[in-house]
Amino acid sequence: MLAGTLQAAAQNPVASNELPHLQKNGNVTQLIVDGKPFLVLGGEVRNSASSSVEYMKPIWPKLAAAHLNTVLVPVTWQQIEPEEGHFDFSVLDALIRDARGNNLRLVLLWFGSWKNGVSTYTPAWVEKDSARFPLVQNSSGQLLGVLSTFSDSNREADARAFATLLRHLREVDSAQHTVVFLQVENEVGVISDSRDHCTAADKAFAQPVPKELMDYLAEHRDTLLPEFRKIWEDAGAKTSGTWQQIFGIGPATDEIFMAWNYARYINFVAGAGKAELPLPMFINTALVKPQDKLPGDYPSGGAVAQVHDVWQSAAPNIDILAPDIYFTDFPGLLGRYSRNGNPPWVPESLAGPGGAANAFYAVGFGSIGYSAYAIEDQDDPSGPIAEAFGFLSDITPMILEHQASGTIAGVWLTTDRPTQDVTLAGYTLHFALRVTRKSTVLPDRGYGLVFSSGPDEFIVAGTDIQVTFTPSTPGPSVVGLSKVEEGTFLQGKWVAGRWLNGDDTQLLYDLSALASQSLSGEGVSFPAGDPTIRRVQLYRYP
């Protein structure tokens, strides 16, 4: 049947330049929709929401009013293929219709073989036949409710369903592109053991590491991520051998082995889908939490940072390895998920004030966009994530343009990370949590965005931050503010309001002490509440 699907795709090609696709634009990779870069300001609904058209009905307008342009919705194997070979797309079609009615795009989350490591979204005809659709076995020989990656029938059944989904999208959405990209499976990996121990898995584990992975190691030796290269080099950097000979004996090797096998399986599923409709595809990753000690405490084989090379080598059909809900250090997380050409994209993170901060940081970091999980819970239409998305949607063209030219940065501060320096266009901008004359108590968080908008000029936006400037190029050493305007962008044009000066910009008055450190004491601050924006013109003096 898969061969038939592939043939049908070849006979009915869709010009891929008309489809949503990823494109390298200058410094970043952007999502192109209807011929133009598109910044995802999104939200993911809870797992069960999109199984019911009626349940979703009141949610769509709420999300549109909260300035989202995209909604991430699960599409489940059990719902679209309740009987083997019989597909029902009525719910999906209604979701597409209602998204269109609210001027929203969709990202579909394929809950196929796995969701959060387990196989609870598989159809009953799969669940009831573990002889035909084998399960993971733990080291004590018990079967877990998790489809094994070491089974052609599992992989092919999932790929057939996914390919049929994409073929359906080709039929119903090729003209309108409501669906802009897809997530393949959800947070995969073996939980509560570091690897699958079924007979086929044990057999594969005793075999040599596949040539494709060995060739990748040899070709990418200089650019392998350091934590992965270390595992290989600590085991002697051998060029052939079994998994344990190449990577050593221990759970890290089990994790690498599982990463390879999940990635190959998912690559096959994604490839079958792309043969029908080549939309961009990503996977999401359950992250290592502070309490996790070993792979298996978190899903073993998912695309955590130390196995990105394995995923990139095994799954070329997956365009992006994305992280999930973050726990502490969002900038560090985006840093780890943007190495080796992996485009930053945040499908599932916080809403609330932390979400607003993450969204600002993400788009300034060059992300394809930002999406908050459990978005339907955000009942306040003027809550922080809605305000942040409203603000970002007003300046989206500017964000996309500056992402491409590398003239934008995000600012993300908390009491644990109270300062951040950004070097841009000849200046270092020293961001800090905002202090006021009246109180020395720092706010819990501050966030912002900065654009270099011309020679000696920046547009800065933010909440609860302040910024001072020093030069990053040779020449006069002190930076003064020659003009600071508050204002807004209306249809891309700057509309100035007050000129800020005096008490609003002279942060410190100890001029002699400041002069001895080549500082002017001038700076710009951004109050609490909804983000505000200022245009800042600078000059330098010796």
Half-sphere exposure of 416 (CA within 13 A, CB side): 4
User: Which residue's CB atom is positioned nearest to ligand DGJ?
Assistant: 187
Closest approach of Cβ 324 to ligand DGJ, in Å?
5
Closest approach of Cβ 10 to ligand DGJ, in Å?
34
Beta pairing, strands 408-414 & 70-76: unpaired
Closest approach of Cβ 529 to ligand DGJ, in Å?
28
Closest approach of Cβ 289 to ligand DGJ, in Å?
11
Spatial separation of the C-alpha atoms in residues 349 and 45, rounded to whole Å: 12
Q: Which is nearer to ligand DGJ, 284 or 414 (CB)?
A: 284
Q: Which is nearer to ligand DGJ, 116 or 520 (CB)?
A: 116
Closest approach of Cβ 373 to ligand DGJ, in Å?
6
The sign of the dihedral angle between the CA atoms of 107, 111, 115, 121 is: positive
Closest approach of Cβ 295 to ligand DGJ, in Å?
18
Q: Which is nearer to ligand DGJ, 189 or 523 (CB)?
A: 189
Return residues touching ligand DGJ (CB under 6 A): 47, 116, 186-187, 284, 324-325, 348, 373
Residues 6+ apart with CB under 8 A from 530: 387, 391, 463
Closest CA to 531 of 465, 442, 480: 465
Residue with tokens 């870069």: 37
Spatial separation of the C-alpha atoms in residues 161 and 273, rounded to whole Å: 9
Spatial separation of the C-alpha atoms in residues 49 and 19, rounded to whole Å: 27
Q: Which is nearer to ligand DGJ, 192 or 242 (CB)?
A: 192
Q: Which is nearer to ligand DGJ, 190 or 536 (CB)?
A: 190
The size of the chain, in residues, is 542
Closest CA to 73 of 192, 210, 165, 203: 165
Closest approach of Cβ 116 to ligand DGJ, in Å?
5
Q: Identify the bridge partners of residue 32 per DSSP, sorted by sequence position.
A: 21, 37
Q: Which is nearer to ligand DGJ, 187 or 254 (CB)?
A: 187
Residues 6+ apart with CB under 8 A from 457: 535, 536, 537, 538
206 SS3 class? helix
Q: Which is nearer to ligand DGJ, 254 or 348 (CB)?
A: 348
Closest approach of Cβ 352 to ligand DGJ, in Å?
14
Q: Which is nearer to ligand DGJ, 198 or 303 (CB)?
A: 303
Q: How far is CA 350 from CA 108, 216, 287, 362, 370, in A?
A: 19, 35, 14, 12, 10
